[in-house]
Amino acid sequence: MTMASSNSPIPVDDGFNEYESAAKRQKSTTSKVWDEMTKLEYENKNELKAQCNYCKTIFSAKSSSGTSHLRRHLNSSTQPSLGGVPFIKNYKFDADECRQAVSTFLVCGKHSFRTVEEPGFRHMMRIASPNFKNISRYTAARDVLMYYAKERDRVKEELAKAPGLICLTSDNWNSEHTNDEYICITAHWVDKDWKLQKRIIRFRALFLPYDGLNIADELVLCLSQWGIDKKIFSITLDNASYNDVMLFCVMVLFFQVRCCAHILNLIVKAGLELADDVVRIRRKRFYDVADKSFHLNVTKKLRQDVCVRWNSTYLILESSLYYKDVLDYWGQRDKDYQIIALSNEEWRNVAILCKFLKVFYDVICIFSGSNYPTVNLYFRGVWKVHKLLLDTVKGPHSFLTPMVKQMQEKFNKYWAEYSLILSCAAILDPRYKLNYVQYCFTTIYGIHASDFVETILSNLRLLFDEYVKRFKSTSSSLAGSSNVSDKNPVDSSLDEHNVNSVDFGFGGDFDESDDYKRYLNESSTMSEKSQLDIYLEESALELNSQIDVLDYWSKSSVRYNELSLLARDLLAIPISAVASESAFSMGKKVITPLKSSLKPKTVQAIVCLDDWMRAKGFSTGNYYSRFIVVI
């Protein structure tokens, strides 16, 4: 290293001087007219010209000429808006739009309403828009409520125009700061463009008592207010006892789906209680070493989650395998913390347990999605778990046997019989169809697999027949409401002739034409294959092919116009209540110690608006991109 290089200043982030770089940035010396003018260069550099981007007029652009004449031209001409944003000279201040933008800022950022009264915010608005009048926190709150009412009507219209039925997810949450019990209801449906949509339509504080009857009243009121009480296809709930009471009180005919992610969590937690020795030793060693080694970044949040969340325990085991050398290093050196290095056999057991839990972790991650269809993935995910438990209990790893048997008891409690409605959705996935369902059941039940397959297939046929009847009734009603002038003129003349014709004694007052048409329809129905039969006879796609199942049915809706109606409704069913549970994370940001005095109606407005804004694209990340998932 040379002396010159050693004397060169080294930049230091001291919490003060690093801000100087932005202040010392040189100002631009380029005139703003070049934002709306284009320089034209010629071979002779002394003949610089400027062309207006709007009227295409060419002017001299010599440095000696300056830019005053160009600015005068721009001020005298009328320029259109660029990218939908008007130029400053054509800008017209809109107080309502500006106030709505402030509401969006407060909602999406979870800011306190007091923000609009802060000197910094008011200074920013005064510089950005001098015409903006300062508002109080009370006015800001009223603006948010009015904005919510406006957007609520728009979402209500979207639900009314939904071409298929609507599925729901619901869950409850208790705020630790206000001790209020909130219910969250989320609507899921497939729109006319075959895109999966979801919107939070309820985030409301419940009244005492927090029981099934009260929740049932809230659900019925919500569906009635949104005008969708006749369009509900299914509701996904967790295993809380009050949900059973609620469904009994509602007395509405729709499918109930148990939250699959919640069930899998119960299964794994039941098994990990018996594997606590391996987990506890591994967890303690990981934390002790993490506290002493800068190589690992373990937060307090992760420590707290391990006590109640098994997936955090899995991540701890996975990380311990990744940092095995570091853990062994500290285990051998540090005697003060009584860290004993694990033997090779113990490390092998940790690796086996981690591999075992990974299957559950991956399946739950897929089940918890809300931006892509999950119902068609249910059957394959549950089968993977079922097969894993059967193979492991018979396998050579005896230390896992007690844990797996405990997990099998939980599995049989909830999934001794695979859900019929969710298994039907697997058949409507073009990668699986009936053959894959037969294969899965055969690997588990052997010669008795056909009984399970027939049960699922017969239920799918019954469901399809209902949709065929609905399709025909809708088609006939549309045909009946059409104008009479649309009738074939030849048929009309024949009808007129028949009215005036003489009865030749073929039946008297009895007209067999209607009965004959009915006979022909029944005969053709018996001889022709249904759309479901044709779909099942076609070869399935590659099992692990990455496809968008909604896009497949969108393109197949012309061939399978009746079957696609069933597919649209089935594929909208969420198999987990994570969509509603995720709103509680949002609620924790809205109801904080500094914002615990918000009225429940204001909390609902903020949570719902934030969800609706995300659906429009107001998010820091690409939360609403479509995922293609293979399990």
Edge-to-edge order in the sheet of strand 255-258: 196-205, 181-190, 166-174, 232-237, 255-258
Q: Name the more confident of 337 and 226.
A: 226
For a pLDDT cut of 90, what percent of the chain falls above it? Answer: 31
pLDDT digits (tens, 9 = 90+) for 165-196: 999 999 888 877 677 888 899 999 999 999 99
Cβ atoms 334, 292 nearer than 8 A: yes
* Domains of the chain, earliest start first: 95-143 (no CATH), 152-259+576-616 (3.30.420)
Q: Which of 13-27, 241-255, 263-277 has the lowest mean pLDDT?
A: 13-27
| Residue 319 dihedral angles phi and psi, to the nearest 5° | -70, -35
Q: Which of 53-62, 221-230, 280-289, 532-541 has the lowest mean pLDDT?
A: 280-289
Cβ atoms 408, 418 nearer than 8 A: no
Tell me the torsion sign for CA atoms 8, 13, 14, 20. Answer: positive
Q: Is 148 exposed, middle or buried (0-12, 13-18, 19+ CB in 10 A)?
A: buried
Cβ atoms 337, 327 nearer than 8 A: no
Mean of pLDDT values over 521-542: 80
Cβ atoms 405, 392 nearer than 8 A: no
For a pLDDT cut of 70, what percent of the chain falls above it? Answer: 69
Mean of pLDDT values over 282-297: 49
Confidence band (pLDDT; 50, 70, 90) for 515? confident
Token pair of 568, please? Answer: 């649209």
Q: Tell me how far apart the alpha carbons of residues 406 and 144 are, in angstroms, rounded to a whole number.
A: 51
Q: Name the more confident of 339 and 159.
A: 159
Q: Tell me how far apart the alpha carbons of residues 298 and 293 are, in angstroms, rounded to a whole number.
A: 10
Element spanning 235, H or E: strand 232-237
Q: Name the more confident of 188 and 485.
A: 188
> Does 117 have pLDDT greater than 90?
yes
Q: Tell me how far apart the alpha carbons of residues 434 and 2 are, in angstroms, rounded to a whole number.
A: 75
> Does 553 have pLDDT greater than 90?
yes
pLDDT digits (tens, 9 = 90+) for 372-404: 999 999 999 999 999 999 999 888 888 888 889
Selection from 554, 559, 552, 565 nearest residue 474 by Cα: 565
User: What is the predicted pLDDT for the residue at 138?
Assistant: 92
Task: Tell the residue number behind the tokens 């307090």, with chain if given.
Answer: 300
Q: What percent of the chain is helix, strand and coil (3-state, nearest 5)?
A: 60, 10, 35
- For 280, residues 6+ apart whose C-beta sits below 8 A from its C-beta are none
Mean of pLDDT values over 538-549: 92
Q: Tell me how far apart the alpha carbons of residues 468 and 472 are, in angstroms, rounded to a whole number.
A: 6
Token pair of 452, please? Answer: 């399970």
> Does 281 have pLDDT greater than 90?
no
Selection from 377, 487, 370 nearest residue 427 by Cα: 377
- Residue 39 exposure: Cα atoms within 13 Å on the Cβ side: 16
204 strand-pairing partners:
183
Helices (H) and strands (E) in the chain, counts: 26, 8
Amino acid at 371: N
Q: Tell me how far apart the alpha carbons of residues 114 and 119 are, in angstroms, rounded to a whole number.
A: 11
**What predicted TM-score, i.e. pTM, was given to this entire model?**
0.73
Cβ atoms 206, 178 nearer than 8 A: no
Confidence band (pLDDT; 50, 70, 90) for 512? low
Mean of pLDDT values over 97-114: 89
User: What is the predicted pLDDT for the residue at 352?
Assistant: 86
